[in-house]
Structure 1
Amino acid sequence: MTAPVTPVIELRDIYRTFRNGDEDVDVLKGVSLTILPGEFVAIVGASGSGKSTLMNLLGCLDRPTRGQYLFNGQDVSALSKDELAALRRDAFGFVFQSYNLLPGGTARENVEVPAVYAGVSRLERHRRAEALLTRLGLADRLGHQPGQLSGGQQQRVSIARALMNGGQVILADEPTGALDSHTGEEVMALFAELAAQGHTLILITHDAKVAAHADRVIEISDGVIMADQGPSLSQYEQRTPITATSLNTRPGNFFTNLGEALRMSLSALTGNLFRTVLTLLGIVIGVASVITMLAIGDGARQSIVDRISSMGSNLLLVRPGAPNQRGWGTTTLIPEDAYAVSELPGIVAAIPEQSGTVTLRAGGRDHSSEVMATSSAFSAVRSWPVEYGSFFTREDELDFASVAVLGQTAAKAVFPDQDPLGQYVMVDNVLFLVIGVISSRGASPMGRDEDDVIIVPFESGGVRLLGRRYLRTMTVAVASDADIYAAQQAVQDLLLRRHGVEDFQIRNMESIIESVTETQNTMTLLLGSIAAISLLVGGIGVMNIMLVSVTERTREIGVRMATGARTGNIMQQFLTEAVLVSALGGVLGVLIGLSVTLMLEKLGTDVAFSAMPVMLAFGCAFMTGLVFGYLPARKAAHLDPVVALASE
């Protein structure tokens, strides 16, 4: 006695209802159907009869509203999306009227798509795809894209794709509808050959001539099967059906899938190069801006801190005027205060300072410069050495000597063609002997040229040039082994005793450096934030382009789902594309940002290179792709396969 045959497909009282506004429309109405392994079945019906809806249900692209669907004896009605995708991947092959080939892929790459989602190695995929295409007469078209193939050749590629994972059940939807009669006959002969080899073929058509090639014809009208001769056991016994157990497929692991997603993403991005470049542009500008802005901010901060630190970290600055008030023009500090502070324990020197603008004249040349009246300890306390010649001495101060030390800029202005040492310079109306030229200091943090100066003894300069003895500032040098805060308190106590009121301000260099650093950090953060906004805008651009890409590639997504792509596969691919764009933009942005920063450094801008801004900018670009690519990827992954395949 012959063992009972398990149908490959069994439908029991299947209904499929769609919502049309406020009305439910039954497209399939209680369809019951049994198909044995190896059968060649044609489902025939007019347009609107429900045959395409039936095909979508048979191919697990859609779910019945109610009823039971058994595949190889397993109830698939309640399977999850990923379980249905696995079933399509392992058991089904689809041949569409419009071919539905991926436009950017070659014939071989299109055939390989189902095997990608089955986890087949790349080498094995190549071998299997080449064998199938050769078998179908396309050995010389392996590297051709769909646009380079005729309609018949494209249909053969889609048939090869349907066979890639074994093709236990091949569903062909109007496979000859877009072909001429001769090519259509060739395709139908090919289907007959596949049926003879044991593939279960289900042909969906409205053409009775095409249906006549099948062993069994099922007529459907208005969602109801009108005629069906039933399965033929004799045909089943004459063939050796291909079964799911003969398929050598397995789900790919994460890294295999990631590698394939990366390869497909590169193909998709290079396929629309101009749009990819525009998408990259926002990320590139954002990353380059972050790196450049932070480098400029850090460089400015470091420059200011270095300049202040170069004067020594053991200095106290005493200015006239009550705390929290501007001290310019006040007369609360006098030279005797500096002399008294110099006598305190732990104090190396206290130098009085007064300044003003004067006119230098020598050799028929006039030059406006700043005069600094100070003490002989100025050079040592301010760590500003003489380049050649000498600095004036304490005796020069006491003798009211008319000697001067020139800054580099002032020296070049009044003595451009001769050595200024031993020369006389008229400062306003007072003649001074140049005894030295001090080393170059460059621009101050405020941008003033510190080398455009003439330095003279305090007594002679204050009285004879500036006409005043009060101090603009007093700089106090504390011994290196002394406590600067204790020294500051001692100076404050002394000046309080001398003045009776607190009409002065004292700050130590450490607090100034901390304050400047804090201010510059705020400015750097502000610059970085402005640059980060451009990176954010670039991220929004990535999301926008990816959403457009999902819309444009909806049918491609449907094809991938039909060939076995799970939700995770689709999401991984689109996320990979978004991250790839952002990462590539990040790399280019880093290179451009570093190049611009180097160029600015060559032009004299203070910049500071460090790894952190580069890593931060690139990391933000990478995360931008991940965050802004998630929504488009999720939208793509949750598309309905039937809706996606029907899109134009």
Structure 2
Amino acid sequence: MKLVEQLRSVMLSVSTNKFRVILTSLGIIIGTFTIIMVVGIGKASEKAVEDQFKRLSVESITITKARGAGGRGMPGSTSSKSLTKQEALQMSELLTNVKSVGISIGTSSDVANGLTTSTASIQGINEAYAAITNLTPLSGDIFTDEDGVLRNKVVVLGYNLADLLFEGDINSAVGSKILLKGTSYTVTGVLNRIGGSGGISSGGGAMASSTTADDMAFIPYDVALKYTTGTSGTRGGGGGSGMVTIIAQANDINSVQPAIDEIKQYIGEITGDSESYSVVDAGSTLASAQETSSTMSALLIAVAAIVMIVSGIGIMNVLMVAVKERTREIGILKSIGAERNVILLEFLFEAITISLCGGLLGVLLSISAPWVLSFTEIDYLPSLEGILLGLGFSVITGVFFGYYPAAKASKLKPIEALNYD
């Protein structure tokens, strides 16, 4: 029996049982769609992580208060195990492998320009922090540390936030006045667009929980302490209701590990516990974030694979019924000389056809994924990898669950098959 005739027989069988085939392939369609969507979400998440860290130089080292090490206090906290702002900034002078230290304190606030309002993340930073994290203005300028000392109410807006507040007219932002927590600030600059997503909103407005600079507003560190975090600090300034992060920059890539060792020793000498702060270089932080993102994607793909398995059981059930319905046909084929492999391949091709058609329909359905996810705060990035993975799973499901019914059909004896009623 030629391959063309086998395929013709398969198509005839499928076409005469259209409704049953469609119902059988529904699980494959949904499973393929789910896998493609999950991979797309994973890709978008990985890109968001990369975008979030790409503005950090490879020599940067992030220093944050370790959990359980004495409250939320960071520089200036009342906790005995906290660095003051001055102690943090002095690392660039006292440590041989650290050339610069930036500091930031973050909170969220209502931001308004006229009738346009939003809730956004507010970061109080110093000049060094802006330099280390490569915050570069598209228009205007970054404020200076002197603005913080003088308590000048100035602000630099992320690209997306400026676009929102000024309704697309970003050029008019510089020099304009906006309100942060009801206090008037002068916009001195708008940052270059970084792109990507900082994460999924968790309430309070999408920008309030975003971790990308595009959605943030930046003000001088000392101004943030006085006007946005609710306190001016008790030990050199800091703490309050905001979360503080210190970013140190090593002299070069080869100095990163020596700088980390120096920083830990320095922290230990001041706080009495070198582990009271987490000291991590940018590369390790990025790798950890990417690993977490990949793990979540793998778990979601595993869920989609379970859907495929359930669908495969459906295919097996349909083919088992088909074998019984076509027992006499199998007997006739064997009586005229059809070999066992011919029967095996015919039913296997039918299983693959059903699963592949379901996979292709799932791929077509995945075109709607961006529209479906547009009702959420979840980003989606279509990829060829997702399509191939979805189709691959569908074909493997067809082969795996179609083999047993096909093998059973091929083992039928001609006489018993012809006498089957």
The reply to whether TM is greater than 0.5 is yes
Secondary structure of 1:310's match?
coil
Counterpart for residue 353 of structure 1 = 104
5+ residue gaps, structure 2 = 202-208
Secondary structure of 2:134's match?
coil
Shift of 1:364: 8.6
Counterpart for residue 221 of structure 2 = 458
Matched, 1:483 2:265: no
Query: 1-side partners of 2:101 and 2:341: how far apart?
Result: 74
Shift of 1:338: 2.5
Query: 2-side partners of 1:286 and 1:413: how far apart?
Result: 38
Taking structure 1 as reference, are residues 553 and 428 closer, same or farther at Cα in structure 2, changes over 3 Å only? closer
Residues 23-66 of structure 1: CA deviation (Å, up to 9, x unaligned)? xxxxxxxxxxxxxxxxxxxxxxxxxxxxxxxxxxxxxxxxxxxx
Contact 1:314 1:484 in 2 (8 A): yes
Secondary structure of 1:564's match?
coil
**Percent of aligned pairs sharing the same letter:** 28
1:616 to 385, 389, 394: 389
* 1:81-160 correspondence to structure 2 within 5 Å: 116=1
Query: 1-side partners of 2:142 and 2:411: how far apart?
Result: 81
Matched, 1:338 2:88: yes
Matched, 1:500 2:272: yes
Matched, 1:627 2:400: yes
Contact 2:232 2:238 in 1 (8 A): no
Secondary structure of 1:319's match?
strand
Contact 1:373 1:458 in 2 (8 A): yes
Counterpart for residue 285 of structure 2 = 512
Contact 1:391 1:405 in 2 (8 A): yes
* 1:161-560 correspondence to structure 2 within 5 Å: 256=2, 258-321=3-66, 328-329=72-73, 331=77, 332-343=82-93, 344-358=95-109, 370-408=121-159, 411=162, 419-425=172-178, 427=180, 432-440=185-193, 443-447=197-201, 448-449=209-210, 451=214, 453-463=216-226, 466-468=231-233, 469-470=237-238, 472-502=244-274, 503-560=276-333
Matched, 1:647 2:420: yes
RMSD: 3.3
Taking structure 1 as reference, are residues 325 and 288 closer, same or farther at Cα in structure 2, changes over 3 Å only? farther
Shift of 1:369: 5.0
Taking structure 1 as reference, are residues 409 and 562 closer, same or farther at Cα in structure 2, changes over 3 Å only? closer
* Greater relative contact order (CA < 8 Å, ≥ 6 in sequence): 2
Contact 1:557 1:644 in 2 (8 A): yes
Query: 1-side partners of 2:126 and 2:246: how far apart?
Result: 10
Structure whose residues are more often helix by fraction: 2
Query: 2-side partners of 1:366 and 1:564: how far apart?
Result: 80
Contact 1:543 1:628 in 2 (8 A): yes
Letter in structure 1 aligned against 2:11:
L
Residues 180-216 of structure 1: CA deviation (Å, up to 9, x unaligned)? xxxxxxxxxxxxxxxxxxxxxxxxxxxxxxxxxxxxx
Query: 1-side partners of 2:216 and 2:414: how far apart?
Result: 80
Taking structure 1 as reference, are residues 570 and 409 closer, same or farther at Cα in structure 2, changes over 3 Å only? closer
Query: 1-side partners of 2:301 and 2:61: how far apart?
Result: 33
Letter in structure 1 aligned against 2:397:
T
Shift of 1:336: 0.9
Taking structure 1 as reference, are residues 309 and 434 closer, same or farther at Cα in structure 2, changes over 3 Å only? closer
**Highest CA radius of gyration, 1 or 2?**
1
Shift of 1:600: 6.0
Shift of 1:531: 0.8
Contact 1:320 1:333 in 2 (8 A): no
Taking structure 1 as reference, are residues 549 and 341 closer, same or farther at Cα in structure 2, changes over 3 Å only? same
Query: 1-side partners of 2:388 and 2:108: how far apart?
Result: 48
Contact 2:29 2:362 in 1 (8 A): yes
Taking structure 1 as reference, are residues 359 and 638 closer, same or farther at Cα in structure 2, changes over 3 Å only? closer
Taking structure 1 as reference, are residues 410 and 646 closer, same or farther at Cα in structure 2, changes over 3 Å only? closer
Counterpart for residue 225 of structure 1 = none
Secondary structure of 1:377's match?
helix
Query: 2-side partners of 1:608 and 1:284: how far apart?
Result: 20
Contact 1:376 1:397 in 2 (8 A): no
Residues 380-410 of structure 1: CA deviation (Å, up to 9, x unaligned)? 2222222211111243344444433234566
Residues 434-464 of structure 1: CA deviation (Å, up to 9, x unaligned)? 3223345575225324555442222343245
Query: 1-side partners of 2:179 and 2:40: how far apart?
Result: 45
Residues 131-161 of structure 1: CA deviation (Å, up to 9, x unaligned)? xxxxxxxxxxxxxxxxxxxxxxxxxxxxxxx
Taking structure 1 as reference, are residues 415 and 579 closer, same or farther at Cα in structure 2, changes over 3 Å only? closer
Letter in structure 1 aligned against 2:248:
V
Residues 225-284 of structure 1: CA deviation (Å, up to 9, x unaligned)? xxxxxxxxxxxxxxxxxxxxxxxxxxxxxxx4x333222212222222222222333322
Shift of 1:647: 2.8
Query: 1-side partners of 2:32 and 2:130: how far apart?
Result: 45
Letter in structure 2 aligned against 1:492:
K
Question: Normalising to structure 2: TM-score of the pair?
Answer: 0.80
Shift of 1:601: 8.2
Query: 2-side partners of 1:641 and 1:361: how far apart?
Result: 83
Residues 472-528 of structure 1: CA deviation (Å, up to 9, x unaligned)? 111122344443222211211222223332332212222211211121111111111
Query: 1-side partners of 2:392 and 2:85: how far apart?
Result: 57
Residues 525-561 of structure 1: CA deviation (Å, up to 9, x unaligned)? 1111111111111211111111111111112122222
Taking structure 1 as reference, are residues 568 and 476 closer, same or farther at Cα in structure 2, changes over 3 Å only? same
Question: Normalising to structure 1: TM-score of the pair?
Answer: 0.54
Contact 2:41 2:381 in 1 (8 A): yes
Contact 2:44 2:379 in 1 (8 A): yes
Contact 1:319 1:327 in 2 (8 A): no
Letter in structure 2 aligned against 1:506:
V
Contact 1:346 1:482 in 2 (8 A): no
Taking structure 1 as reference, are residues 326 and 536 closer, same or farther at Cα in structure 2, changes over 3 Å only? farther
Taking structure 1 as reference, are residues 283 and 423 closer, same or farther at Cα in structure 2, changes over 3 Å only? closer
Counterpart for residue 128 of structure 1 = none
Taking structure 1 as reference, are residues 423 and 597 closer, same or farther at Cα in structure 2, changes over 3 Å only? closer
Query: 1-side partners of 2:137 and 2:43: how far apart?
Result: 30
Query: 2-side partners of 1:379 and 1:647: how far apart?
Result: 82
Letter in structure 1 aligned against 2:92:
S
* 1:9-48 correspondence to structure 2 within 5 Å: none
Taking structure 1 as reference, are residues 309 and 642 closer, same or farther at Cα in structure 2, changes over 3 Å only? same
Secondary structure of 1:372's match?
strand
Shift of 1:359: 5.7
Query: 2-side partners of 1:366 and 1:591: how far apart?
Result: 39
Query: 2-side partners of 1:430 and 1:577: how far apart?
Result: 70
Paired residue total? 391
